[in-house]
Every structure is written in C-alpha cells, then in structure tokens.
C-alpha cells in the first residue's frame, strides 16, 4: 500500500521548502522530495554563493579605495581558495538550518527524484536505489530551473554556466560573459572587482534589456568605470581551445577574442524534465513552463506549480510568495491572487536598528490581540555573508491582520 500525505512537494528549493514548511505549520502531513540538496538553486548554485563572492569582491574594492578614507591598507592579493571555503561554509550552515527545520516541522524528507503520475500518485526514485509510491491529497511541483546553453559553447573546461563559475578556485585573468542580463552582470561586476579583465558579450542593443533605461545606464556607467568591456549587438558564433589553454571566441562579424574563461549566462529554462506528468492534465507550454492559473493551479485537480518552473519572474522571493499563495489556496480556498508585476529584484537589506511603533506590552495595553515573531540575523544568509550576525528582526502584528 502506498504512503499517504496531505501534501507532497517535488523540489526542495525556495519554492518547495517554503511550501512544505508553511503547509506543515498549517497542520498538514507533508513529504518533501529533493533529488540533490535542500535549498535548490538559490542556496547551492545561485543567490547565496553569488552574493558571497560579490561581498568578497566588495572587500577587495574597499581595500583598493581605503586610502580615500585615510586608511593605509595594502592588499598583497586574493587567496580565492579561502573565499571559496568561506562561501562553502555559509552554504553548508544554511543547508543545515533548513535540514533542521524539516525535522522540527515534522516534514518527511525524501532524497530522490519525484515524478507525478495519474491520480496524484508521486513515484519517488530514492537515492539509495529503492523506489516508493506516495498517494498525495495535494501536490506542489517546484522543480525549478537550470541554466540555458547555446550552440557552439558546450559546457566543460573553460566554458561554464553559473553552476561551474561558482566553483572556481582561481580568479581568471580574462573572462567573457555571454549575456548581459542580471546574472551575467552580477558575475561581470564580481570578477571586475576581483581584478579580472571582463567583457560582456550581449546580442541585444543594450545590457539589462528588461530594466528601466535610466537604471540600466547607471550600471553601464559604473561598469565603464570598472573597465568592463561591454560589447552589445554582437553575435557569438563559436569557440575553440588554443594550445596555451585559453579560449578563442568568434563572432558573426569582427575580430575574434581570446579569454581564459567563458561564462554562458543566457537565461534559465524551467526544469520539468524529470517530473513525468504522463497521464495527468498538467500542461507544459512550448517554452517548457508548466501552465498555471492565477492561483498557481495546474490543469490537474489538487496539483499546483510554483517558482522558476512557471512563467513568472525567476526570483527566489517570487517562489516564496507563490508557495504561500498555493498553500493558502489549498487550505482556505483564499481568492487572493499573486501580483507579480509588483515584484522587484531588490535583495535583502539589513538595517542596524529599526524602532518598533508599539512594544508588545504597549500594543496589548492598547487592547490589541497581538502575535510576535522573531528572526535572528545569525540564521539569515545576508547577515552571514556580511559577517554581521548580531541582531534580529522582530515583528509585532495584530493577530487578525
């Protein structure tokens, strides 16, 4: 007989673990199926490691400009293996934190690949070689996305996506980033501040094409100051390895360029490859996104899809919002829709101190029925990256608001 759960979540990234934890807090029995490491792209191969390196780059920049502040500091170079080890410690600490939460929230964690069959049966190919079938009352598909690649640039050696570049142990002397979107620009900025000669190779007339032009121009100006070579309206046609280990990139027009590392950063595709879906009414569109309505419901009753797997902005906080929306919808059939047009790409900011409008006691004295929630900075990825882990966020809210 198959195991049975109120909710089975496939994929343990921000969308998946947020759904699992929230559903468990609502009293549901939950299984979370993850084929790699909890935390998904964001924690293991995305936001967190990329921001850890951005911070290393910022530290290097601060040292370079320290004399402007009257500080005598001379750098004798960067030991990037140490930066890598620091990044790995941050990621490991956060993975441990999430693993602890699965236990404390009594979520059944299954290390394996989940696929959806007809009748909301989730089949799990477990990492230990065995398999099991789970009967789910509800299912959330949260299998995320993977980097896109382009013809003529097979990944391997010095040709990398974001996955591989985040594992580098040495700062490349010359690096070309193909694609001037948000992720490409983040890598360009990081490596320029670490001392690499950086080029951005973008096919469109401008980098950051989706951004407000005034804001994009600020980035262009700052990149120009950092001596990043921005080539727009340019079409890469292929690459070849040279005997000295470097790579030559060729273009539809113009001279080739020689670099040490090429980062292919041309967007991410929804990853539904291992989800099965045979015999279900879950539809995948021609771009690979699972089709959902405004409540993240797929065509199959009781099955939702969220995060990078669906056609909404590919951002961790959008995945979190969709997780909460789906659980609220399946628990309470709430009619609140997600407004992704209001989603911004801003990251977490830590303020040193913020006053609270009303203290808990004052609020109670004023006749409010309040709830209090606290989140320690030491459990926050951004605080760990900055190395400033003392502090907390405390929210005092009206119970019914």
Asked if residue 307 binds ligand FAD (CB under 6 A), the reply is yes
The structure tokens listed for 136 are 């789910």
CA–CA gap between residue 88 and residue 94 (Å, rounded): 10
How far apart (Å, rounded) are the C-alpha atoms in residues 131 and 117? 14
- E strand or H helix that includes residue 229: strand 229-232
Distance CA 32, CA 22 (A): 12
- Using CB under 6 A, which of the segments 94-102, 111-119, 334-342, 380-388 binds ligand FAD? 111-119
CB of 173 to ligand FAD, least distance (A): 22
DSSP structure class, residue 236: E
Query: Helix 316-332 and helix 14-25: axis angle, to 10°?
Result: 30
User: Is beta strand 197-202 parallel, antiparallel or unpaired with respect to 174-178?
Assistant: parallel
Q: Tell me: does residue 34 bind ligand FAD (CB under 6 A).
A: yes
Are residues 239 and 265 in contact, defined by beta-carbon separation less than 8 angstroms?
A: no
Q: Does 131 bind ligand FAD (CB under 6 A)?
A: no
Residue span binding ligand FAD (CB under 6 A) among the ranges 32-40, 75-83, 128-136, 148-156? 32-40
Distance CA 397, CA 401 (A): 7
Residue 46 or 202 having the CB closest to ligand FAD: 46
208 binds ligand FAD (CB under 6 A): no
How many CB atoms within 10 Å of residue 98?
A: 20
Q: Is the dihedral of CA 218, 223, 224, 229 positive or negative?
A: negative
Should residue 384 be labelled a site residue for ligand FAD when binding is judged by CB under 6 A? no
Stretch that binds ligand FAD, among 89-97, 167-175, 292-300, 314-322 (CB under 6 A): 314-322
Q: What angle do CA 291, 111, 16 make, to 5 degrees?
A: 35
Q: How far apart are CA 255 and CA 229, in angstroms?
A: 15
Residue 271 interacting with ligand FAD (CB under 6 A): yes
Which residue from 8, 21, 22, 46 is in contact with ligand FAD, where contact means CB under 6 A?
Answer: 46
Q: Does 172 bind ligand FAD (CB under 6 A)?
A: no
Applying CB under 6 A, which of residues 5, 9, 87, 114 lies at the interface with ligand FAD? 114
40 lies in the site for ligand FAD, by CB under 6 A: yes
- How near is the Cβ of 253 to ligand FAD at its closest, in Å? 30
Does residue 50 belong to the site contacting ligand FAD (CB under 6 A)?
A: yes
Distance CA 269, CA 272 (A): 9
What mask of x and - would describe binding to ligand FAD in positions 139 to 168, judged by CB under 6 A?
---xxxx----------------x------
- Tell me whether residue 123 or residue 246 sits nearer to ligand FAD (CB atom): 123
Note whether 300 binds ligand FAD by CB under 6 A: no
| Nearer to ligand FAD (CB atom), residue 260 or residue 308 | 308
C-alpha span between 311 and 323 (Å, rounded): 15
Q: Least distance from C-beta 183 to ligand FAD, angstroms?
A: 5
Residue 87 in contact with ligand FAD, rule: CB under 6 A:
no
Hey, which residues does 33 pair with through a beta bridge? Answer: 10, 110
Measured at the alpha carbon of residue 345, what is the angle toward residues 34 and 186, in degrees to the nearest 5?
Answer: 85
User: What residues are paired with 240 via a beta bridge?
Assistant: 248
Given a contact cutoff of 8 angstroms between Cβ atoms, the answer to whether 34 and 142 are in contact is: no
Tokens 């992720």 map to which residue? Answer: 183
Q: Report the residue from 16, 172, 180, 184 that binds ligand FAD according to the rule CB under 6 A.
A: 16
Nearer to ligand FAD, 26 or 126 (CB): 126
Residue with tokens 């021609």: 286
Q: How far is the CB of 245 from ligand FAD (least distance, A)?
A: 25
Backbone angles phi, psi at 358, to 5 degrees: -130, 135
Told to check if 15 binds ligand FAD by CB under 6 A, we report yes
Whether residue 5 contacts residue 136, with contact meaning beta carbons closer than 8 Å, is answered with yes
Nearest approach, Cβ of residue 88 and ligand FAD (Å): 16
Shortest distance, CB of residue 243 to ligand FAD, whole angstroms?
32
Query: What's the closest the beta carbon of residue 4 comes to ligand FAD, in angstroms?
Result: 19
Least gap, CB of 111 to ligand FAD (angstroms): 9
Interaction of residue 13 with ligand FAD, rule CB under 6 A = yes
- Residues making contact with ligand FAD (CB under 6 A): 10-16, 33-36, 40-42, 46-47, 50, 113-115, 142-145, 162, 183, 271, 274-275, 307-309, 314-317, 319, 347
């Amino acid at each position: 007989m198959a195991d049975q759960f109120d909710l089975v979540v496939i994929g343990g990234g921000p969308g998946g673990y947020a759904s699992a934890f929230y559903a468990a807090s609502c009293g549901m029995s939950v299984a979370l199926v993850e084929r790699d490491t909890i935390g998904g792209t964001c924690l293991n191969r995305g936001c967190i490691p990329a921001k850890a390196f951005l911070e290393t780059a910022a530290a290097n920049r601060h040292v370079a400009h320290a004399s402007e502040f009257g500080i005598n500091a001379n750098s004798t170079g960067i030991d990037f293996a140490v930066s890598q080890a620091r990044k790995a410690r941050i990621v490991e600490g956060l993975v441990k934190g999430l693993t602890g939460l699965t236990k404390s929230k009594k979520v059944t964690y299954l290390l394996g690949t989940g696929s959806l069959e007809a009748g909301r049966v989730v089949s799990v190919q477990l990492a230990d070689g065995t398999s099991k079938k789970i009967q789910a009352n509800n299912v959330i598909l949260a299998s995320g996305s993977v980097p896109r690649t382009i013809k003529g640039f097979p990944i391997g050696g010095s040709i990398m996506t974001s996955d591989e570049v985040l594992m580098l142990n040495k700062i490349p002397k010359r690096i070309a980033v193909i694609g001037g979107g948000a992720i490409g620009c983040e890598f360009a900025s990081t490596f320029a501040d670490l001392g690499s000669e950086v080029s951005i190779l973008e096919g469109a007339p401008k980098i950051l094409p989706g951004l407000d032009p005034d804001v994009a121009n600020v980035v262009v100006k700052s990149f120009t100051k950092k001596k990043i070579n921005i080539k727009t309206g340019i079409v890469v046609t292929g690459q070849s390895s040279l005997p000295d280990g470097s790579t030559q990139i060729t273009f539809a027009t113009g001279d080739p360029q020689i670099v040490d590392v090429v980062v292919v950063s041309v967007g991410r595709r929804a990853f539904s490859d291992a989800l099965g879906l045979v015999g279900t009414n879950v539809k995948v569109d021609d771009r690979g996104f699972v089709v959902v309505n405004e409540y993240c419901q797929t065509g199959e009753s009781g099955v939702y899809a969220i995060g990078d797997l669906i056609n909404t902005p590919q951002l961790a906080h959008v995945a979190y919002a969709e997780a909460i929306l789906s659980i609220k919808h399946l628990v309470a059939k709430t009619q609140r829709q997600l407004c992704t047009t209001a989603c911004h790409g801003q990251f977490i900011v830590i303020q040193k101190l913020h006053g609270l409008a009303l203290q808990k006691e004052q609020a109670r004295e004023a006749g409010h029925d309040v709830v209090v929630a606290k989140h320690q900075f030491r459990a926050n990825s951004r605080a760990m990256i900055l190395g400033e882990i003392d502090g907390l966020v405390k929210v005092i809210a009206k119970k019914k608001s």
